[in-house]
Homo-oligomer: A and B are copies of this chain.
Amino acid sequence: MNIEMIDAAAARLNGIARRTPLLYAPALDAIAGRRVLVKPECLQQTGSFKFRGAYSALSAMDAETRARGILAYSSGNHAQGVARAAQIFDCPAVILMPADAPRAKIEGTRSYGAEVITYDRASESREAIGARLAKERGLTLVRPYDEPQVIAGQGTTGLEIAEQAAKMDITRAEVLVCCGGGGLTAGIALACAARAPGLRVRPVEPEGYDDTARSLQSGTREGNATEAGGLCDAILTPQPGEITFPINARLCGPGIVVSEEEALRAMAMAFRHLKVVAEPGGAVALAAALFHGQEIENEVAVCTVSGGNVDVATFARALEYA
């Protein structure tokens, strides 16, 4: 992994992925006690940053492989990103999704023309189903984070942050990144290290799924007790990635862990003051900026809002805090 791969992904994504703005509001600065800038990747195509990595991976494949079809496992955001990228390339996409994934994400994935196959998390193995399908149909698996071209695609978010911060004369900041398997975190960290070395990445996770925070502390990849059931479905992974973790261990500051209630409160603040829709897993970085200020070392916090694919019932819960 290197910055040239991220630059190459940016060139492929140019005019296809959206360049999201950096938003801010005086009310958020007042709550946080520092300047807060928000990178709303919920406004990205398919409602999350995952489109960047998915399109990067598909555009880097040879055309013949791609034309045979793509396979992905995902609870929803990677699913939609891959489905939309496959739709653009007019190639088949099969997505394995847990039957209990948010309805908005399953419907969203189908709306981009992908074949969605649901499985029961408790009794079925997605790897076994996937391996059978890949063999039968000649599909190529696109991993959600442990895949260099996917990390390169997510890293384009970091290139934009580096450029946008420089334009605002910001040379030092902590960049808070919503962290599941660590692909977005690693991509942004690589881009910032090369282009804006005063911007330090801090991974943010929800309580109970703080594998990256604990792994950064211990220096080895630690797992979570469980992978399912949390509100922050987008960023619940069994453990840090094999490729992503060494990058994050080298480049990131300590992890920050927020509660589910703090994530809901951050969703409410994003609704009220930024007018963007965040999903719980996409709001943890903003929650860290707003409610964990004592753990942040810089006067400026840049927060990713990594996705906005949330069901109405969950969003209504967040609105109770608005």
Contacts and interface: CB of A to CB of B under 8 A. Distances in A.
9 contacts: A21-B21, A23-B43, A26-B84, A26-B112, A40-B275, A47-B273, A277-B277, A312-B322, A315-B319
A27 B83 CA distance: 14
Interface string A75-109: 00000000010010000000000000000100000
Contacts of A308: 275
Interface in A10-62: 18-21, 23, 25-27, 40, 42-43, 45, 47
A322 B102 CA distance: 14
A271 interface: yes
A272 B112 contact: no
Contact of A42 (B25, B87, B275): B275
Given A26-B111, A111-B27, A319-B312, A275 B19 contact: no
A274 interface: yes
B21 A19 contact: yes
B23 A18 contact: yes
Nearest to A322: B312
A202 B38 CA distance: 33
Given A43-B275, A316-B316, 5 more contacts: A25-B45, A26-B112, A47-B275, A275-B277, A276-B276
Contacts of A272: 104
Contact of A277 (B21, B84, B276, B312): B276
A43 B276 contact: yes
